A and B are shown apart, each in its own frame.
Chain A
Amino acid sequence: MTKNKLHALIWCVVTGLAASVQSCVPVNPERDTLTAAVAISLDGSERTLAGNLASLGMLEAGQGLRIDARGDNARRVLLLREDDEREGVGIMVDGALANQPFDTVIGSAGRHFVFVDYDGNTGLFAQTATVSASLVDELPSRSVEQVVRVVFENNFLTDPGLFDPVDGVDADRAFLESIESVVRDEIVSSLRTIFADTPIRIISENEGTDEPLSILTYSPQRVIADQNDVNDAALPPADPSRPECQVRVIFGEVLPTGTEIDPGNRIPDDQAVVYVGSFQGRGASCLSSAVTSVRSIVLTLSQTGAHEIGHLVGLYHVEQIDLMNRSATLAFQRELDFARGQIQIDRLENGEIRSEIFPAIVQDPAVYFESIFSAE
């Protein structure tokens, strides 16, 4: 594949009822179908893969499978099942980190595929891995649910939190302090609503559980992104007329920094953080939509938290307007869903980080949760 083809199509997002927020991401046109997948047999023999996709053929519900994908640049492995809705498209049904075998149980019958996700700075010609797959008798146990405890650090709204360091006055700080308890309760309530019909159970700081739990922390910090943090290089600068507002900050991340995603939710006690201070406005020229009302504060912080929880259980970014869209500005606007979307992967190219859509790889949280969690 040539780089020209990589840039053959640009993809834009638009949302909102009036003013539009957009991002531009190139689509990889040669990866828009599963037909390019290399077939591998289920006898444990290794097959070299140049590219991302291997076909496992038809598998039946209840079959146990061990998959081992290794490569210097391989970082994650996804199991896909051919989509019922569209030919040539695979739905993510499980995953794991690369370079270690993992076991999975086939949830529904169908043609299955392995997708190898390479490290972002891997050139296309270095995207090679050895993949093996075999049937196993002993089925791995899967948990019924994932518990997530939501923790708020002291003064998460004011230190600096959402306090405007330019125009903020004591009365503003006092107001933010006064609503801290309401905002805390509303965020927990909102997260419970977002995950109500999923195997993800949200608990507050005061609630106990015997199960392993992930932790989502709301930190008051404002965190500036460094040069190598993933950014959408296709995006134009924010607003050339207001250079003072073009500060790239980080809204949230899975910890430790660089973890990104827990594919297949293999780590039941991982952690993520939302940096509340990164949402603050700074003076009259750098107002933030996030802080215009309690409504927008709760909407923004809860939806950003839901996005990070999505990563904790293995969800990727999708390009569709969704809770798993990377653009945090979407979280300001309306209540978003966890819905079907085509995954977006960031990679470094000539020193620039570019996001790429894989049209053949679909993430549907409902299908994924049903597959990676046990029903009873």
Chain B
Amino acid sequence: MTTRRCRLICLLCLLACVASGCVEIVPGVGDSAIETSFAFTNFSMAQYAQLSIRRTGDDAFVTTPLLPPGATHRERFLDALGVGCPGQIDLRVALFERINDEVPIGLDDGEAVGEVPSAGGEFLNLPACGSVVVETLTIVNWDAPVGEGVVKIGQGTPLERVLRQLPDFDNRDGVWTFEGVDDALGDVMPEPRASAAQINGRVITADGTGLSDVGVLLRTRFRVRLNDEDPSNDPDAGFSAPIALTATDANGAFSFDRPAGGYRVEVFSDALLFRPAIIDVESPIDELVIIAEPLP
């Protein structure tokens, strides 16, 4: 008899199921019994974004908060739509321009945006759990010129392969694009901004002593296209100019209040060496410890 052991096994560098071909893709519209989630992420450098979503066939859309650059909104389908995993979904993505765009986002009180979308698109009957069940359906707004929208759905999952078979996704990056504002979004207004989730950290020496007056800055993650290995149009993805700046207090502590999402934290000082000085994070973060030592 074989002994079974419940141990946490190393699954180093797991490859996507797509690569393994282990997924049976059966197009369909039925809901799944599995409870899954969606994550809407705004990887634009400057525009704010909100997503409206409904199960195909339902009447009302549910809309996320307005996401600043870098932010992510995660929600279970059960909570949002009352179904564990919808077979097909309808989406609306609306983008809004900043008013005070000469001010870094983190210093822009109120972060005002235009009252009407600069771009907005609607996609009906998008294959979802009826075709492939993914635990988190990612819907990512990429960076694009004002007036255009580029949305990547299910990146790195078997759903991406399904979507690439649709005419709307039959392009280099397998993205859904739109220009201007779809008539269906004519009266869409910006939702209240996503609430803040803290990034808390401390800069300390190896013996735990806090270091004051260390500069700390924050950048947001962005993406323009899939990595294409073409250096003439880089960057394909990266981090924005700093959106917020602070310094550590007497205990070495610092904090940023930004909506949950993808950020880069950088620390700097003329007198200290950091291990490391740059950390890419998914917030919220309870405590980000950075070790520093005097420059030799």
| A109 interface residue per 8 A CB criterion | no
Which listed segment binds B: A12-20, A58-66, A129-137?
Answer: A12-20
- Please tell me if the beta carbons of B24 and A10 are within 8 angstroms of each other in the complex: yes
| A179 interface residue per 8 A CB criterion | yes
Answer whether A320 and B135 are a contact pair too, CB < 8 Å, given A12-B158, A257-B5, A293-B279: yes
- Please tell me if the beta carbons of A15 and B8 are within 8 angstroms of each other in the complex: no
Give Cα A321 to B285, complex, Å.
Answer: 17
Answer whether A298 and B289 are a contact pair too, CB < 8 Å, given A17-B41, A120-B4, A236-B19: yes
Chain B contributes a number of interface residues (CB within 8 A of A) equal to 70
- Please tell me if the beta carbons of A179 and B279 are within 8 angstroms of each other in the complex: no
- Please tell me if the beta carbons of A17 and B6 are within 8 angstroms of each other in the complex: no
| A54 interface residue per 8 A CB criterion | no
| B207 interface residue per 8 A CB criterion | yes
- Show 6 residue pairs from A and B whose CB-CB distance is below 8 angstroms, ordered by the A residue: A19-B156, A20-B155, A248-B10, A278-B10, A295-B288, A329-B14
- Please tell me if the beta carbons of A329 and B11 are within 8 angstroms of each other in the complex: yes
Scan A91-126; emit 1 where CB is below 8 A from any B CB, else 0: 000000000000000000000000000011100000
- Please tell me if the beta carbons of A228 and B135 are within 8 angstroms of each other in the complex: no
Residues B133-171 near A (CB distance < 8 A): 133-136, 138, 140, 154-158
Residues of A within 8 A of B1 (CB): 121
- Please tell me if the beta carbons of B158 and A357 are within 8 angstroms of each other in the complex: no
Give Cα A229 to B287, complex, Å.
Answer: 34
Residues of A within 8 A of B24 (CB): 7-10
In-complex Cβ contact of B7 among A247, A253, A340 (8 A)? A253
| B3 interface residue per 8 A CB criterion | yes
Question: Which of B10, B24, B34, B223 is packed against the most chain A CB atoms within 10 Å?
Answer: B10
- Please tell me if the beta carbons of B2 and A346 are within 8 angstroms of each other in the complex: no
- Please tell me if the beta carbons of A18 and B155 are within 8 angstroms of each other in the complex: yes
| B235 interface residue per 8 A CB criterion | no
Answer whether A247 and B34 are a contact pair too, CB < 8 Å, given A12-B134, A18-B237, A228-B4: no
Residues of B within 8 A of A156 (CB): none
Query: Shortest beta-carbon distance, B26 to chain A, in Å?
Result: 8
Give Cα A253 to B138, complex, Å.
Answer: 32
Give Cα A96 to B223, complex, Å.
Answer: 49
Residues of A within 8 A of B8 (CB): 250-253, 304, 307-308, 326, 328
Query: Shortest beta-carbon distance, A193 to chain B, in Å?
Result: 5
B11 closest partner in A (C-beta): A327
Scan A268-287; emit 1 where CB is below 8 A from any B CB, else 0: 00000000001000000010
| B9 interface residue per 8 A CB criterion | yes
In-complex Cβ contact of A24 among B5, B23, B279 (8 A)? B23
**B residues neighboring A (CB under 8 Å):** 1-17, 19-20, 22-24, 32-37, 39, 41, 43, 72, 76, 78, 84, 132-136, 138, 140, 154-158, 204, 206-208, 221, 223, 237, 261-262, 275-276, 279, 281-291
Question: Which of B34, B76, B78 is packed against the most chain A CB atoms within 10 Å?
Answer: B34
Supply 13 further A-B pairs (C-beta < 8 A) apart from A229-B9, A328-B8, A357-B34: A8-B24, A10-B24, A16-B282, A18-B237, A21-B14, A228-B5, A239-B13, A247-B10, A258-B4, A258-B5, A293-B290, A327-B11, A342-B34
In-complex Cβ contact of A18 among B20, B154, B223 (8 A)? B223
- Please tell me if the beta carbons of A193 and B286 are within 8 angstroms of each other in the complex: yes
- Please tell me if the beta carbons of A250 and B9 are within 8 angstroms of each other in the complex: yes
Chain A contributes a number of interface residues (CB within 8 A of B) equal to 97
Query: Shortest beta-carbon distance, B173 to chain A, in Å?
Result: 13
- Please tell me if the beta carbons of A181 and B78 are within 8 angstroms of each other in the complex: no
Scan A239-251; emit 1 where CB is below 8 A from any B CB, else 0: 1001001111111
| A32 interface residue per 8 A CB criterion | yes
B74 closest partner in A (C-beta): A321
| A38 interface residue per 8 A CB criterion | no
Query: Shortest beta-carbon distance, A143 to chain B, in Å?
Result: 24
Give Cα A58 to B276, complex, Å.
Answer: 58
Scan A338-359; emit 1 where CB is below 8 A from any B CB, else 0: 0011100010100001000101
In-complex Cβ contact of A230 among B4, B14, B35, B289 (8 A)? B4
| A225 interface residue per 8 A CB criterion | yes
Query: Shortest beta-carbon distance, B239 to chain A, in Å?
Result: 12
Residues of A within 8 A of B32 (CB): 9
- Please tell me if the beta carbons of B134 and A230 are within 8 angstroms of each other in the complex: no
B158 closest partner in A (C-beta): A12
Residues of B within 8 A of A341 (CB): 35
- Please tell me if the beta carbons of A182 and B34 are within 8 angstroms of each other in the complex: no
Residues of B within 8 A of A5 (CB): none
